Amino acid sequence: MNVRTKTAVSMWVFAVLIAVGMPLCAYAQATSAGAASVSDAPIQTDVLKTLDNKRYKDVKVAVQDGVVKLTGTVPLYADKEDADKRAHHRRGVKGVENLIEVGGPVVEDVTLRDKLAEKLAYDRVGYGTTAFNALTISVQNGSVTLGGVAYGPMDKDSALSLVSNYPGVKDVIDNIEVAPTSPMDDRIRLAEARAIYGAPQLNKYAIDPAKPIRITVVNGNVTLSGVVDNQADKDVANIRANGVSGVFKVINNLQVAGSPAEK
């Protein structure tokens, strides 16, 4: 079709619109809507293709104006997260509405919290950072909230991955802070570990890597957490921690096993 023919066709279309009383803006909107609906089909096909895995066999995909809507169920919370990421990274996707529900077993909150706490206690053992991570965990209706301070991004990511892949977890709320990178803080961490575990009566807390006296250092401020056998151990840990040079402040949050405060 040459330029003259195209121009003639366009003038004819405009003439028809004017004759039937249809505003040009309405025609433009209708044309745009039609183009959007056509482009949704290949997006849906592409998203379905990237979710072609048995983990997503019960997931349904709908697309409207470039926004992907995910529904259905998956076995693990990690699968829900992964489906969201896969959909987001497809060409032409403007947004993702993730309404996927997490199936799997229903676990009582207290049981789930205790199981996860045990798993997290041994997480990253062997990497030399266990004593420098002080994470907290709470569970409500299967929704797990993680908090506290992680030594580094890898420690945080590892904890989140562990929880997200645990059966019974329906949602994960990430409130974990990562300690800022600081050569001074790293020096203090090592010095604190030597000072605390170097005390004869405190060396026993280094035997089980999942039950250490946890040492958190942020900008020269030291926080001790965990559970010790008696008040004397707590007091010695406090004295040893305060004896490290360069420390601004020591907060002793150690709990004494069997104490009324712990109950």
Per-residue pLDDT tens for 189-235?
A: 999 999 999 999 999 998 887 788 999 999 999 999 999 999 999 99
Per-residue pLDDT tens for 1-27?
A: 544 444 444 444 444 344 444 444 444
Per-residue pLDDT tens for 155-189?
A: 999 999 999 999 999 999 999 999 999 999 999 99
CATH 3.30.1340.30 fits 36-104, yes or no: yes
pLDDT at residue 47 above 80? yes
Mean pLDDT score, 238-244: 96
Question: What's the whole-number average pLDDT of the chain?
Answer: 86
In CATH, which of 1.10.3720.10, 3.20.20.70, 3.30.1340.30, 2.60.120.10 is domain 109-178?
3.30.1340.30
DSSP state of 60: E
Mean pLDDT score, 101-115: 94
pLDDT score recorded for residue 128: 75
Per-residue pLDDT tens for 117-129?
A: 999 988 888 777 8
**What stretch(es) of the chain map to CATH 3.30.1340.30?**
36-104, 109-178
pLDDT score recorded for residue 80: 96
pLDDT score recorded for residue 25: 43
CA dihedral for 248, 133, 146, 174, sign (positive or negative): positive
pLDDT at residue 41 above 60? yes
Distances (CA, A) of 25 to 9, 18, 19, 31, 237: 18, 12, 15, 10, 75
pLDDT score recorded for residue 260: 60
Cα 29 from chain centroid (whole Å): 40
What are 250's strand-pairing partners?
222
